[in-house]
């Protein structure tokens, strides 16, 4: 199984978890950063998960250490999307769609089809860490 496939499988394993702002584990709830972190960890990333970030921001994030910018088209890629002028959101690419923490649905969901928002940037694990 490739790193991207492991990331997608981990994201899909989060589907159904309740939404919780700044949530980091499936049992307690997840936000979009938590879902992305679960996926990236499964792909071999050992970087620092952001804490204390603003819930509304217009500024894109810097490329996290251990991740590489990419086009966002591959399974397991993490997509940073602009959902509103001051709101960014993370999704994980899975075959046929994306997985993300949906605040309106109050849970992590898998959505089929194209990404519904403009993609600002995308990342994937640069290399698996030991």
CATH number of residue 55's parent domain: 3.90.1720.10
Q: What is the pLDDT of residue 112?
A: 97
pLDDT in tens, 82-100: 998 888 899 999 999 999 9
* Amino acid 59: pLDDT: 58
pLDDT at position 129:
47
**For position 22, what pLDDT does the model report?**
85
Contact in structure between 35 and 47 (CB atoms under 8 Å) = no
Q: Let me know if residue 17 belongs to a domain.
A: yes
12 belongs to a structural domain: yes
Cα 110 from Cα 87, distance rounded (Å): 20
pLDDT under 50 in the chain at which residues? Answer: 129-130
What are the DSSP calls for 14-74, one per residue?
A: HTTPBB-TT-EETTTEE-HHHHHHHHHHHTT---PPP-S--SS-SSPPPPPTTEEE--S-S
In this prediction, residue 63 carries a pLDDT of 72
Asked whether residue 37 is domain-assigned, the answer is: yes
Domain count, the chain: 1
Q: What is the span of the domain harbouring residue 114? A: 3-125
In a domain, 130, yes or no: no
pTM: 0.89
């Amino acid at each position: 199984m490739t790193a991207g496939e492991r990331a997608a499988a981990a994201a899909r394993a989060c589907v159904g978890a309740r939404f919780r702002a700044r949530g980091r584990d499936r049992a307690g709830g997840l936000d979009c950063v938590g879902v992305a972190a679960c996926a990236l960890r499964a792909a071999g990333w050992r970087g620092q998960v952001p804490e204390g970030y603003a819930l509304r921001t217009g500024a894109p994030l810097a490329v996290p250490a251990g991740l590489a910018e990419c086009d966002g088209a591959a399974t397991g890629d993490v997509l940073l999307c602009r959902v509103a002028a001051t709101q960014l959101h993370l999704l994980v690419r899975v075959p046929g769609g994306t997985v993300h923490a949906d605040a309106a649905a109050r849970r992590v969901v898998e959505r089929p089809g194209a990404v519904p928002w403009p993609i600002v940037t995308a990342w994937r694990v640069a290399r698996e860490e030991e």
